[in-house]
A and B are shown apart, each in its own frame.
Chain A
Amino acid sequence: MNNERSMLSRLYPTTKFMITIALCLAAFIVPGYGFSYAVLPICMVLAYFAGSFKEFSNLAIKALLMIVVFIFILQSFFYPGHDILWSWGIFSIKREGVEFALFLTSKIVAVASAFILFFRITKVKDLVHSLEQIGLPSKVTYVILSTLQLIPEMKKLTLVIMDAQKTRGVETEGKLLVRMKAFLPTLSPLILGSVASTEERVLTLESRAFSANVKKSSIYTLEKTKYDRLVQILLIVLLAILIVWRVAL
């Protein structure tokens, strides 16, 4: 089990991305909503083997529950249809609406869970490295990496600024208008500070030859293993079988 767990996480990022794409395609190839919903448990099992079951389930529920519920409410009550299943006053649930909602949500659940899985089992560092190998300019990969570092940093800074402003007498709790007024004193020092820091960052990067037009070496390496080949071939064969089965049907 331990061996298997590391195997899934050890796959090359592009292979992992192929798994995601294959799951999405399969959800659209197989008719009906049964299989598309089944993508979520499939991803859960895969996440379990990669050792991130809890994170995956938490994120999937947070991201999907609200939108699925709302789609069901909107579609089942307001989709034009005649076959009434249940009614209360002027509201009525129609069969056509429920079917449409099932169709729509199943596809959304399938695609979304496949992508959540990808980002749970792939380290951003690995992803960025493989993108660089494909030939993406280092400016693009720098933006991706530094964004992901900057967000938690700035979130922390926000709390510090809020505390600082509180000690200076800015009210952050109370009526709506009071809380509204606190927004700008919190945001503007944060933005002005971080925007000003870009100037220093330019100097730092340029002193390390960031825009120099030469091939750079990387201290971080990522190897493709024989399993990558195996998984890729397996996925393509499975998809081909699905398509043939669908056409023959």
Chain B
Amino acid sequence: MGIKRGLKYDFSLLAILLIPIGIAINFVGAQIILLLKLPIYLNTIGTILTAMIGGPWVGMVTGASTNLVVGITNPVSFAFTPVQMAVGLVVGLLAMKGMYTKLWKVILASMAVVLTVLIVASPIQVLMFGGATGNSSDAVVATFLASGQQIWTAVFSTKILVESVDKIISNVIAFVIVMKMSPRYLSKLNYGAIFIKKK
């Protein structure tokens, strides 16, 4: 599989139409979490899903647009746009390398995603917001700080704790759903061929 095939190839009309769906899934995933009162976010399932079947660039655009749309009502999320973009890019690249074909590979890939989030999100959180995000995870940061850690290590530790649970679950859910998609649909997408089960 060649990596460089041009943006025109990646952004076919079918892939472009996936972007709004991906954004909406990010939203709705978070809403279902609220309805079921679960203690996680799961607001990246759509980004992961589109990155898997639409390629890294489509995933990146989905991630960026999600935060821009959230930003309409909560501008704090503008600042965290690079995080979702990085998730889309990394998942897309890993999926191209065939890391999303088996469950154990997906869990390995999620660790790479967690690492990416850690590297991209922590500087934004510390430098722009002094370690806070306005989410419930801030309480964890405060706990780490109270136990005598520095701000960077406190944010890092919190991120590892919260993100690894969140990203593993999101990745596995996206994987399960893609595996349920029909081969007829997957074959129309540029990056769908990997996920068609061989019989």
Q: Spell out A's residues near B (CB within 8 Å).
A: 59, 62-64, 66-67, 70-71, 73-75, 77-78, 91, 100-101, 104, 108, 111-112, 115-116, 119, 139, 142-144, 146-148, 150-151, 153-155, 158, 162, 172, 176, 179-180, 182-184, 186-188, 190-192, 194-196, 198-199, 201-202, 205-206, 210-211
Contact check, A202 vs B76: say whether CB atoms are below 8 A apart.
Answer: no
Chain A: CB-nearest residue to B151: A78
Known: A111-B75, A116-B73. 17 other contacts (CB 8 A): A63-B73, A63-B76, A63-B134, A70-B132, A74-B138, A77-B145, A146-B17, A147-B23, A153-B24, A154-B25, A158-B35, A184-B173, A187-B28, A192-B177, A195-B18, A198-B21, A206-B13
B176 near A: Cβ within 8 Å?
yes
Query: What B residues does A179 contact at CB under 8 A?
Result: 36-38
Q: Which residues of B contact A (CB under 8 A)?
A: 11, 13-14, 16-21, 23-25, 27-29, 31-33, 35-39, 42, 45, 49, 61, 65, 69, 71-76, 78, 128-135, 138, 141-142, 145-146, 151, 173, 176-177, 180-182, 185, 188
How many angstroms between the C-alpha atoms of A153 and B20 in the bound complex? Answer: 12
**A74 CB contact (under 8 Å) in B11, B33, B132:** B132
Question: How would you classify the secondary structure of chain A's contact residues: helix, strand, loop or mixed?
Answer: helix
Within 8 Å by CB of B181, from A62, A144, A190, A192, lies A192
Tell me the complex Cα distance, A201–B138, Å: 42
Asked if B19 and A104 make an inter-chain contact with CB atoms under 8 angstroms apart, the answer reads no
Contact A63 B69 (CB under 8 A): no
Given contacts A73-B142, A191-B49, contact A199 B14 (CB under 8 A): yes
C-alpha spacing A75/B35, complex, angstroms: 33
Report the Cα distance A198→B173, complex, angstroms.
Answer: 21
